[in-house]
Amino acid sequence: MFKTDGSQVATLLANKNVDAGITWDPHVSRALADGVGRVLASSAEIMPIKNGHYVGDGTYVRDDFLKAHPDIVQELVSVQVKAIDLILRDPDRAIDIWTKENNFPRAVIEYAIKQKISVFDRNMVPDRATLDAYTVFLKKAGLLSDTDNPKVETKFAEQALQEIK
């Protein structure tokens, strides 16, 4: 076993340098679209916390930054919500933008979105139960200590959702 950048997993599989790997999208979609890999287990199977899928994405900030710069935090969340809305409303346009901006092959991004390898959902306002379940998972995995207790602030996601209506 060894550690590598997640972007290398598809290449390592294709070259038969590894038998399996753990990565995230769009790297998962690259391996699938190229036909060099298959999904053995997904985060949705391991942690179906909200709407049947994993909730690890989000905007994370320190308390002091949030207090000093709520306008920046709102802008970050709003941009993320607008991007998700575009993906759901006009996936082909979103794929074009994503491909151009990230220099990823169109087939990979198209695979990620159309095969729902990457999950995009408008139901993104965090709730206490979801955060509690995620926190338990992270503590069991040793990624958080027993004394870590993440906070959730819903007003930024709620405001961002109002902006797209």
Q: What is the pLDDT of residues 104-162, one digit of tens each?
A: 889 989 988 888 887 788 877 877 888 888 888 889 989 889 999 888 888 998 999 99
Going from the C-alpha of 3 to that of each of 18, 25, 120, the distances in angstroms are 11, 17, 28
User: Same structural domain for residues 79 and 109?
Assistant: yes
- CA 112/CA 154 separation, integer angstroms: 28
Amino acid in position 103? N
The yes-or-no verdict on residue 23 having pLDDT over 90 is no
CA neighbours within 13 Å on the CB side: how many for 137? 16
CA neighbours within 13 Å on the CB side: how many for 155? 5
Instruction: Output 56 or 67, whichever has higher pLDDT.
Output: 67
User: Same structural domain for residues 16 and 71?
Assistant: no
User: Same structural domain for residues 22 and 101?
Assistant: no
User: Same structural domain for residues 128 and 155?
Assistant: yes
Q: Which region, left, alpha or beta, applies to residue 142 given φ > 0 means left and ψ of -120 to 50 means alpha?
A: left
Tokens of 99: 């491909």
Domain span at 28: 1-40
| Domain total of the chain | 2
